[in-house]
């Protein structure tokens, strides 16, 4: 069993941390909101007042944070992980991050003798609860193998993707596909509505025609149940924006991802940020002058 630190126990981090505790590991936990860790402390976790305090009590630290700025702050900021780390500490960042940021953070961590991995996860909150996440790891193979049992507490599909940044890149391209494909369904729905075609009838045909392999999300979209999602639209907008940024850094055109990013950011800026990513339907209908 390992001495594990866990930083960031929000919507998806909390059940991941709970499963690490249930896996028999000693866990030290920190979050900006202490109440988020109340159930974890009941399960046996130890509360720490800062990321530095987590690091000082751990041999391996997992972070689950909103994005690159937060990961950077938690690792390098005042009272950050590197402030409390002893040489030999290993970090696995479960957040969605940029490969370029990952490499920069790993360099800074290495200066303190800390090994940093990009280790994003996929399959949502229910996957976190059920410990069935896909975990995509980039970085040092030896430390990955050493702490694979910790990662297997949170996911039953744990992959080593290669060098630093490859885990992050895998997650970004995965989310680009899953999120952007929904935006095409949104666009098809609005076109149908604007032209007078019943979208439900259109789906009936699509489900048995050549589009059948691509319309699994259409019933949920047409039900318009956008409230209380497990994954917020603002997170989807961030993830697709990261895909566009990676493409820009690599000098690769990304017209499809860029269009999806525009749709998501437009909906986010109109106040739909805490709804489901499918709530871009509402924004697209506004743009088209379509009323439902």
Catalytic residue among 103, 171, 201, 238: 171
Tokens found for residue 9: 């126990």
Catalytic status, residue 171: yes
- For 252, counting Cβ atoms within 10 Å of its Cβ (0-12 exposed, 13-18 middle, 19+ buried), the class is exposed
Q: What is the dihedral of CA 150, 13, 238, 91, to 10 degrees?
A: -40
Element (H, E) at 281: helix 280-288
Tokens found for residue 249: 């850094």
If one counts every other C-beta atom within 10 angstroms of the C-beta of residue 106, the result is: 23
Tokens 């409390």 belong to which residue?
Answer: 84
The total number of residues shown for the chain amounts to 292
Residues 6+ apart with CB under 8 A from 20: 4, 6, 27, 62, 150, 153, 154
CA distance 152 to 133: 9
Do the beta carbons of residue 53 and residue 30 sit within 8 Å?
Answer: yes
CA angle (142, 60, 107) in 5-degree steps: 70
State in Å, rounded, how far the first CA of the chain is from the last one: 55
- Please, how many CA atoms are within 13 Å of residue 85, restricted to the half-sphere of its CB? 28
Which residues are part of the catalytic machinery? 171
């Amino acid at each position: 069993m390992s001495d594990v630190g866990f930083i960031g126990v929000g919507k998806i981090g909390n059940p991941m941390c709970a499963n690490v505790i249930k896996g028999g590991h000693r866990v030290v936990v920190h979050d900006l909101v202490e109440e988020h860790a109340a159930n974890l402390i009941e399960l046996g976790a130890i509360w720490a007042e800062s990321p530095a305090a987590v690091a000082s009590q751990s041999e391996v630290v997992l972070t689950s944070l909103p994005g690159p700025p937060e990961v950077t702050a938690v690792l390098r900021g005042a009272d950050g992980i590197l402030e409390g780390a002893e040489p030999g500490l290993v970090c696995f960042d479960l957040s969605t991050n940029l490969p370029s940021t990952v490499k920069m953070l790993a360099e800074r961590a290495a200066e303190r003798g800390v090994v940093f991995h990009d280790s994003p996860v996929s399959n949502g909150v229910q996957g976190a609860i059920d410990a069935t996440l896909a975990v995509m790891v980039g970085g040092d193979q030896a430390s990955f193998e050493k702490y694979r049992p910790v990662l297997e507490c949170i996911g039953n599909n744990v992959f080593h993707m290669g060098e630093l940044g490859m885990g992050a890149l895998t997650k970004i391209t995965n989310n680009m596909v899953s999120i952007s494909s929904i935006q095409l369904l949104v666009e098809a729905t609005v076109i149908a509505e604007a032209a007078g075609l019943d979208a439900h009838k259109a789906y009936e045909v699509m489900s048995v025609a050549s589009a059948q392999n691509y319309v699994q999300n259409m019933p949920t979209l047409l039900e318009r149940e956008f409230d209380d999602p497990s994954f917020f639209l603002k997170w989807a907008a961030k993830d697709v924006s990261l895909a566009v940024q990676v493409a820009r850094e690599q000098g690769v055109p990304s017209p499809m991802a860029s269009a999806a990013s525009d749709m998501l950011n437009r909906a986010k800026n109109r106040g739909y940020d805490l709804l489901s990513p499918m709530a871009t339907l509402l924004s697209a209908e506004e743009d088209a002058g379509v009323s439902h």
